[in-house]
Amino acid sequence: IPLSSGMILLTWQKIAPTALLYQISPSLNMEILIMLAILSTVLGGWGGLNQTQMRKVLAYSSIAHMGWTVIIALVNPNLTILSLMIYIITTLTLFMTLNLSSTTKIKSISNLWNKSTPMTMIVFLTLLSLGGLPPLTGFMPKWLILQELIINNNPTMAIIMALSALLNLFFYMRIIYVSSLTMFPTSNNLKHHWFFTQTKTANMIPTLTTISSMLLPLTPILIIMT
């Protein structure tokens, strides 16, 4: 499918089921939520390890992130909304950048160095944020969810969720590692293209990148709100 269609499936289509989950959260069964969350995070992390298409990687990443969204629905539904919002913003940033650069495969990210250095750095930052690497924004919901699980006497679940998140972070780091090492060390690469075509989508990317990677200092405010 086109990148634009994939973006809609992984962002907009999650709003309705998450809203329903938020409304019925008081009557949910904790055991079922835990089972679904573990299956989602493990399946999403394991399935993304052997992929070469960015759309498939992001699809498995979406499955893993839904596990984090589901597990906290009964304990703190507000964190469910926060997790979904940060995921949507980060995923939108990544899809817009990939669509603007016509990048669909992992090996194509290496060629972005010769097209636009900012695009490459945006892709790297967004992938690390999706993986939940501190001090990026994506670390915030995982941090708050793990903290909430521990407060509610679920340290075992917190450990399992944290370990499963390492699978996602591994294949994100692998993409960045491979893309960085496969850049040809020629003199042409020293003349990076720091600008790209100005469009409405391109103008939104810097703002979305800032939100998806630099909101961690606002965590205390968001804790009070949730």
Which one-letter amino acid corresponds to residue 162?
Answer: A
What is the greatest pairwise CA distance in the chain? 62
Which tens digit of pLDDT belongs to each residue from 13-46? 899 989 998 888 888 888 888 888 889 998 988 8
The full set of domain ranges for the chain reads: 3-183+202-225
Which tens digit of pLDDT belongs to each residue from 157-178? 889 888 888 888 888 888 888 7
Which tens digit of pLDDT belongs to each residue from 85-101? 999 999 999 998 888 88
- pTM summary value: 0.87
Half-sphere exposure of 70 (CA within 13 A, CB side): 23
